[in-house]
Amino acid sequence: IELKAEDLRTVCELGQGNGGTVSKVVHVPTGKTMAKKLVLIDAKPAVRKQILRELQIMHDCRSEHIISFFGAFVADPHICICMEYSDKGSLDQIYKRIGAIDIDVVAQIALAVLEGLTYLYDAHRIIHRDIKPSNILFNSAGQIKLCDFGVSGELINSIADTFVGTSTYMSPERIQGAQYTVKSDVWSLGITLIELALGRFPFSDDDSELEEDSSEEEDDPDADIAHYIANGLSSASSVDTERSFASRDSRDSEESFGEGTLSPRRAPIALPPPTISISTASTVSHPDTDSTTTPGTSRGAPKLSAPNASSAAKKNRRKSRGVSLQGGGMTMSILELLQHIVNEPAPTLPAGKYGADAQGFVAKCLEKRPEDRPSPKELLGDPWMRSAREEGYDLVAWAETIP
């Protein structure tokens, strides 16, 4: 069927992200309920057409762990993407409603995400690029499905200027400008799983330690990272949008659509251009911890060297407890968070509360060097995943517990 704007009746809004707004709609001619995503893009008509062409690949993505695609059209100045509606929403909404998610459910989520990622990569050479709780959807049939994967390079380029929040799930190598591979998705999965199991985003500042520790060693490796990031930001503002990425004719070629497609011509990190972010207060405040954000601790312009967060982390290291997982609210500038991800030990599932198999799996996902990190396919053979598959879980019954 050809989708047209006038055939869609809006039922309600489902949520808003940095890149767009998602609504529940009914396609009147067929009576089908859909989720309609409006993405505001800054692109010329030719590029918009190219985006639509690239999005058509989603018609071929058929897997029980991938949200189905119904079609897309231009609705100036937006691109409108119509997809399968998921009646229990995304996993961030779910854990904010019911709290930390049982680790056995988290295991099923990990399994579904790995199967979805493996399908996307093996069947279509697609790397997701945006794994996080809000892009994992759940429905009352007990199905777990991925949405918002990076199928269109032109779309990624065209919305790059308006997107900020996603960077917090970004792997260390990607922050440093390395090629994007399926292993970067595995890192994001690791962060996501800890977030779901704890019921909150795993990176947090321990504010009490930030005040005291300003007299630190002067040889600060973070300054280099800050440099990298600043350079990444300036090149992000000049991303070349004429380039073909996932167009039908090139997608079978390993060279143009294999691991690391977006580099080296692409900016290392997709952050807003310097005019937007670097000179303003780009504070990362996670939605569920916003209420605990104290204005005094939210810093203005990010510091390009020796930020407090890293001093605190050095202190943490001396106490040999790595990243603080127990802290309350989180207020870290985006640069501090990125530096933290690159320089400090990866977060872990706290010992005691979780089984060794779950901890071990998450630790593999969060290996800091991509060479040491398994691929999604390799992780499907992990002991935690094997027992998740064997034992199963009644996700339909679990869905009934979610209001």
The annotated binding site is made up of 37
Q: Which is nearer to ligand ATP, 84 or 209 (CB)?
A: 84
Q: Which is nearer to ligand ATP, 200 or 303 (CB)?
A: 200
* Dist CA 15 CA 201 (whole Å): 19
Q: Which is nearer to ligand ATP, 276 or 380 (CB)?
A: 276
387 membership: H or E segment, kind and range: helix 383-391
Residues 139-158 that bind Mg ion (CB under 5 A): 148
* Dist CA 207 CA 204 (whole Å): 9
User: Smallest distance, Å, CB 286 to ligand ATP?
Assistant: 12
Q: Kindly provide the residue ranges of all beta strands, DSSP E only, lying in 28-174, ordered along the sequence.
A: 32-40, 69-75, 78-84, 136-138, 144-146
Q: Which residues touch 104 (CB under 8 Å, ≥6 apart)? A: 388, 391, 393
92 touches Mg ion (CB under 5 A): no
Beta strand 20-27 pairing with 32-40: antiparallel
Is residue 75 classed as helix, strand or coil in its secondary structure?
Answer: strand
Diameter over CA atoms, the chain: 68
309, two tokens: 């967060």
Q: Out of ligand ATP, Mg ion, none, which partner does residue 90 contact, by CB within 5 to 8 A per kind? A: ligand ATP
What DSSP state is assigned to residue 101? P
Q: Which is nearer to Mg ion, 135 or 311 (CB)?
A: 135
Which residue(s) pair with 20 in the sheet?
39
Active site residue 130: yes
User: Which is nearest to 72 in space by CA: 43, 34, 32, 46?
Assistant: 34
Q: Which is nearer to Mg ion, 134 or 310 (CB)?
A: 134
Residues 105-134 that bind Mg ion (CB under 5 A): 134
What DSSP state is assigned to residue 328? S
Binding positions for ligand ATP, rule: CB under 6 A:
14-20, 22, 35, 37, 67, 83-86, 89-90, 93, 130, 134-135, 137, 147-148, 165-166
User: Which is nearest to 5 in space by CA: 86, 72, 85?
Assistant: 72
User: Which is nearest to 22 in space by CA: 70, 69, 82?
Assistant: 82
Q: Which residues touch 103 (CB under 8 Å, ≥6 apart)? A: 197, 354, 355, 358
Residue nearest to ligand ATP (CB): 17
* Dist CA 216 CA 214 (whole Å): 6
Residue nearest to Mg ion (CB): 148
Q: Which is nearer to ligand ATP, 175 or 379 (CB)?
A: 175
135 touches Mg ion (CB under 5 A): yes
148, two tokens: 């918002």
Question: Catalytic residue among 42, 76, 130, 213, which?
Answer: 130
The HSE-up count of residue 266 (CA atoms within 13 Å, CB side) is 27
Q: Out of Mg ion, ligand ATP, none, which partner does residue 165 contact, by CB within 5 to 8 A per kind? A: ligand ATP
**Site residues (CB under 5 A) for Mg ion?**
134-135, 148
Q: Please identify every residue annotated as catalytic.
A: 130
